[in-house]
Amino acid sequence: MARIGVLGFLHETNTFAPGPTELARFIEADAWPGLVEGQALLDATGAMNLAVSGFVAAMRDTGHILAPLLWCSANPSGPVADAAFDTIVSRMETLLRQAGPLDALFLDLHGSMVTEHLDDAEGELLQRLRRITGPAIPYVAALDFHAIITQAMVDQTQAMVAYHSYPHVDMADTGARAARMMQRLLAGESFHAAWQKLDFLVSMPWQSTLGDEPAGKIMAQARALETLDRPEVQFIPGFPNSDTPESGPAILAYASTPARAQAGVQALAQRVSGLQQAFSGTLHTPDQALQIARTHASLRYILADTQDNPGGGAAGDTTGILHALLDQQLSGAAVALLCDAPFALAAHQAGTGSTIRLPLGGRSTPGDPPVEGDFEILALGDGKFVGTGPFYQGCRMELGLMARARIQGVDVLVSSRKQQAADQAMFRHLGADPQDYRILVLKSSVHFRADFSALADHILMVKAPGANTADLRELRYTRLRPGVTIL
Ligand SMILES: [Zn+2]
């Protein structure tokens, strides 16, 4: 019977988004819990689609004892403040010392955190924790599909397992995979790691693993390469809007011998290189996308506002597509979620059924003006509801005051905290059914597909203002290692 410490610290850093990301963002809840310690960690993360939830559930009947220490996350955004990183890691160190002897450590990490002065924040975190626990006990980490793998991360852990799916519908399952690796390590097995960094960047919208997409084919090949003595062969695409020497995808395998692990990496690398050029797609301007929707008036559309996707570090408040809807006088549309706390507060003060005249959105991005006009307040919400779709399953959202406001026949779902529009419960919380709209504008790149794809005949990827740049060639990378290309 082993005693296993449980830690979590998740941030996907868009180094092109304005920073720094302060401590408060990690303390407050959003779709995921705020900073939690001890028993509260287990209470807050239970029964939801998170790696820590899946790990804890899978370990429940194994006879091992869990020591929950600290878990926190912040929505993707600009580089993390050095002070915030240090405060959280120092607290983890204190809790780790107080916890007494541990036999293993489980870590729920994103894997692409960058601070003001650290390119590889997870590598630094792991090294600091190792100074307390020593090198002997196994560390098993769960990682995001968009993790950026580094040598320090590989060196400091005995196993790292990343989500297989984008949309990340398998976060809890990934925690269960981590639990299986943990049990085998605690039973005395050891795994050899082999890994390879790949020298290209793939934009977020083209990383989907659904349908016939290249990432899906690569994942299928990876599963085919896994065996009992080579339990993990992984393609980890990385987060592309990150300008560091480590940026880019990786292939990472664990096996009973170095040769078996290396053979898995080589076989998967071959598959990736055959599909590498297939990562692509079409970006539409808002006017082009709406023209298509106007031409095919009997069809239903989702317009993915990918560049303002808060899940990629954007602010979630830009108005490019909303302006285009109003200019083209297209009604029967909804925009979700637009983050504007002052607007949501004013809507609550005015009440349902009232009409308010207040600028909406357009605060974060130069050249993206607010929408001005009369808004009819159709519904109000406190922002507290439970996710029901495959991605946000079980998540107890805390998005602050919310409102559904109508302008010229277009509904805008407004929140006080930014959150990716990837769950139908966001609409239902505000008395709306997403099926009732012919055009859904969703601030999301890929995650929305899990819960919304069935509602549309066509999905159009739209390039409107926002910090989650979709055409990576527009970004000024200065720190990539030589040879990295943009697909
Ligand atoms: Zn991700």
Ligand 1 centroid from CA 369, angstroms: 29
Ligand 1 centroid from CA 414, angstroms: 24
Ligand 1 centroid from CA 377, angstroms: 34
Say how far apart CA 78 and CA 92 lie, in whole Å: 23
Say how far apart CA 467 and CA 238 lie, in whole Å: 17
Tell me whether the omega of the peptide bond preceding residue 167 falls within 30 degrees of 0, making it cis: yes
Ligand 1 centroid from CA 294, angstroms: 33
Ligand 1 centroid from CA 165, angstroms: 9
What is the three-class DSSP state of 443? coil
Ligand 1 centroid from CA 114, angstroms: 15
Ligand 1 centroid from CA 100, angstroms: 33
Contact criterion met (CB below 8 Å) for 272 and 174: no
DSSP secondary structure of 64-83: -EEEEEEEEE--SBSPBPHH
Ligand 1 centroid from CA 239, angstroms: 7
Ligand 1 centroid from CA 447, angstroms: 9
Ligand 1 centroid from CA 434, angstroms: 24
Ligand 1 centroid from CA 144, angstroms: 5
Ligand 1 centroid from CA 163, angstroms: 8
Q: Is 347 exposed, middle or buried (CB count within 10 Å of its CB: 0-12, 13-18, 19+)? A: buried
Partnered with residue 107 across adjacent β-strands are 7, 141
Ligand 1 centroid from CA 420, angstroms: 12
Query: DSSP state, 439?
Result: E
Residues with Cβ < 8 Å from 167, sequence gap 6 or more? 208, 210, 390, 391, 422, 446, 447, 448, 449, 450
**Encoded amino acid at 447, one letter:** H
Ligand 1 centroid from CA 178, angstroms: 17
Say how far apart CA 154 and CA 171 lie, in whole Å: 20
Ligand 1 centroid from CA 203, angstroms: 12
Ligand 1 centroid from CA 109, angstroms: 11
Say how far apart CA 192 and CA 174 lie, in whole Å: 19
DSSP secondary structure of 223-237: HHH-BTTB-EEEEE-
User: Which token pair is 339?
Assistant: 């983050």
Ligand 1 centroid from CA 170, angstroms: 11
Ligand 1 centroid from CA 40, angstroms: 25
- The whole model's pTM is what? 0.96
Tell me whether the omega of the peptide bond preceding residue 20 falls within 30 degrees of 0, making it cis: yes
Ligand 1 centroid from CA 257, angstroms: 30
Ligand 1 centroid from CA 329, angstroms: 35
Ligand 1 centroid from CA 168, angstroms: 7
Ligand 1 centroid from CA 51, angstroms: 12
Ligand 1 centroid from CA 332, angstroms: 31
Ligand 1 centroid from CA 326, angstroms: 32
Ligand 1 centroid from CA 419, angstroms: 14
Provide the pLDDT for residue 487.
86
Say how far apart CA 435 and CA 288 lie, in whole Å: 23
Ligand 1 centroid from CA 362, angstroms: 26
Say how far apart CA 118 and CA 201 lie, in whole Å: 21
Ligand 1 centroid from CA 446, angstroms: 10
DSSP secondary structure of 250-315: EEEEEESSHHHHHHHHHHHHHHHHHHGGG-----B-HHHHHHHHHHTTTS-EEEEEGGG-GGGT--
Which three-class secondary structure string do you get for 308-359? HCHHHCCCCCCCHHHHHHHHCCCCCEEEEEEECHHHHHHHHHHCCCCEEECC
CB atoms within 10 A of CB 200: 19
Provide the pLDDT for residue 115.
98
Ligand 1 centroid from CA 146, angstroms: 5
Ligand 1 centroid from CA 374, angstroms: 37
Going residue by residue through the chain (487 aa), what tens digit of pLDDT does each one get? 999 999 999 999 999 999 899 999 999 999 999 999 999 999 999 999 999 999 999 999 999 999 999 999 999 999 999 999 999 999 999 999 999 999 999 999 999 999 999 999 999 999 999 999 999 999 999 999 999 999 999 999 999 999 999 999 999 999 999 999 999 999 999 999 999 999 999 999 999 999 889 999 999 999 999 999 999 999 999 999 999 999 999 999 999 999 999 999 999 999 999 999 999 999 999 999 999 999 999 999 999 999 999 999 999 999 999 999 999 999 899 999 999 999 999 999 999 999 999 999 999 999 999 999 999 999 999 999 999 999 999 999 999 999 999 999 999 999 999 999 999 999 999 999 999 999 999 999 999 999 999 999 999 999 999 999 999 999 999 999 999 999 8
Partnered with residue 458 across adjacent β-strands are 301
Ligand 1 centroid from CA 65, angstroms: 29
What is the three-class DSSP state of 108? strand
Say how far apart CA 311 and CA 330 lie, in whole Å: 27
Ligand 1 centroid from CA 354, angstroms: 39
Ligand 1 centroid from CA 472, angstroms: 17
Say how far apart CA 448 and CA 264 lie, in whole Å: 32
Helix H or strand E segment including 162: strand 159-162
Ligand 1 centroid from CA 86, angstroms: 24
Ligand 1 centroid from CA 166, angstroms: 7
Ligand 1 centroid from CA 351, angstroms: 37
